[in-house]
Amino acid sequence: MSELSALLEIALRAAAIAGETIMPIYASPFEVERKADRTPVTEADRRAELAMREFFARETPGFGVLGEEYGETPGDGRHRWIIDPIDGTKSFIHRVPLFGTLVALERDGEPVVGVISCHAVGETVAAAAGLGARLNGEPCRVSRVASLDDATLTMTSFARTAARRPLGYRALVERCGLARAWGDCYGYLMVATGRAEIMLDPDMSIWDAAALQPVIREAGGGFSQWDGNPALGDSAVATNGLLHNEVIRLLASDLA
């Protein structure tokens, strides 16, 4: 087994540990708190991240860890786990099963391993640089749809997307065959497995995006910020690759 394959297995196990922590809470009554930025958080977010951190400390003791709930634990300077225990906390709170756990491994500043684990629907997509992407262990690829007329567009928020790029939003919605708000990590899983062609997010943090980049790219798709910059940033668009340039062009309608 190669080093990256072994690290991917560790990432998968970490995501599974998060799921083992999260799902019993999901099925029970729980309290919702507000963080300083007014975003919601639950005991499931916190307990899952702590469980993942304990696992990483045992399995990869020299690696750093950056998580949404507990910040940064420095490591060797080369390797860093980047985790979001529950991506889609609002869905989790409302018992909508489209939330998931995100796990990425960054090496020398580049995400090389990514896992999207949507526990409530029983689907996990995992990828590592040069090793392809797999859905529940089986190879997966983006779709071959080459026309926006036949494309499915999904996004985390219609309102926030429209507010950030009103002309681009309208152009995409009007051009695409289907537009839905299957948001957060589940939308990216849909693109990686060929069930949607475009996923948009107007607001991203590094723990939201780091796992998505290797998954989408290893599945054969395109992943960038809305301006086409391939580096991780404060927005994200994932496509099947064939439509990427056209999507970026339409998103730029507001900048013309």
Q: How far apart, in whole angstroms, are the C-alpha atoms of residue 43 and residue 86?
A: 11
- Tokens for 219? 């599945």
Q: How far apart, in whole angstroms, are the C-alpha atoms of residue 143 and residue 216?
A: 12
The torsion of the CA quartet 111, 113, 116, 122, rounded to 10 degrees, works out to: 180
Q: Is 184 annotated as a binding residue?
A: no
Q: Tell me, what's the pLDDT at 35?
A: 87
Q: What is the pLDDT of residues 182-230, one digit of tens each?
A: 889 999 999 999 999 999 999 999 999 999 999 999 999 999 999 999 9
pLDDT at 37 over 90: no
Q: What is the pLDDT of residues 50-87, one digit of tens each?
A: 999 999 999 999 999 999 999 999 999 999 999 999 99
* Superfamily for domain range 3-139: Fructose-1,6-Bisphosphatase, subunit A, domain 1 (3.30.540.10)
Nearest Cα to 211, choosing from 140, 136, 127, 133?
Answer: 127
State the chain's mean pLDDT as an integer: 96
Residue pair 133/219 in contact by the 8 Å Cβ criterion:
yes
Q: Tell me, what's the pLDDT at 231?
A: 95
Q: Is 84 annotated as a binding residue?
A: yes
Token match 């849909």: residue? 190
For the whole model, what pTM was predicted? 0.96
Q: Is 208 annotated as a binding residue?
A: yes
Beta pairing partners, 33: 41
CATH of domain 148-252: 3.40.190.80
Residue pair 224/132 in contact by the 8 Å Cβ criterion:
no
Return the domain boundaries, the chain: 3-139, 148-252
Token match 């490591």: residue? 75
Angle at Cα 185 formed by Cα 184 and Cα 188, nearest 5°?
A: 105
